[in-house]
Amino acid sequence: MFSTAYHGSVAQYIEGGKEPELGDMLEFKRSCLYSHWAIYAGNGKVIHRTGDGDGISNISGAGSRVVATPCGQLLNKAKVQMDHIRNVIVQGVKAKINNYMGKSKWSGYEIVRRAREKIGEIGYNVIYKNCEHFCTEMRYGEDHSKQVQDTAAGVAIAGASILGGIALAKVLGNKDK
């Protein structure tokens, strides 16, 4: 077992000032396009798929070890690691407790145990192995990314709209001849 005692309030880093529970998924909004995700591990710590040293933080000026790129990494350099929640906050944007798939079949302790077993694992892919996939796998036993799903749906709708517009332009163009 591990200690969950923490001398300080994590609530100051959470929207609405609520203390997260062990195993909660925390969403860190990075932009209107994406969020970073982590599992709350107690003692003010989170476990997440992330990385540093990719040079992006120097460009973005984020001033944080965790950079504002999708889950902190480009390419395949990300790893699962534990950090204090304050080191994951970028530009003062608070985290949100977001267990969007509902109640887990595991206790908070079990979710954190599962996540701790993954610390050091290397690998990242924005479509099938990102920080959100990691969190849903640890909490629910299935890797899922709502933001990837939403983006794919948006791209499909945009593509269909463009193709529809081209087809309509051709039909209307042929009527003029």
Q: Which residues are catalytic?
A: 36, 48, 131
Give, in order, the Cα–Cα distances in Å from 82 to each of 40, 42, 148, 161. 10, 11, 24, 43
- Cα-based angle 69, 137, 40 (whole degrees, multiple of 5): 70
Instruction: Spell out the residues 6+ positions from residue 116 whose beta carbon is closer than 8 angstroms to its own.
Output: 2, 41, 47, 82
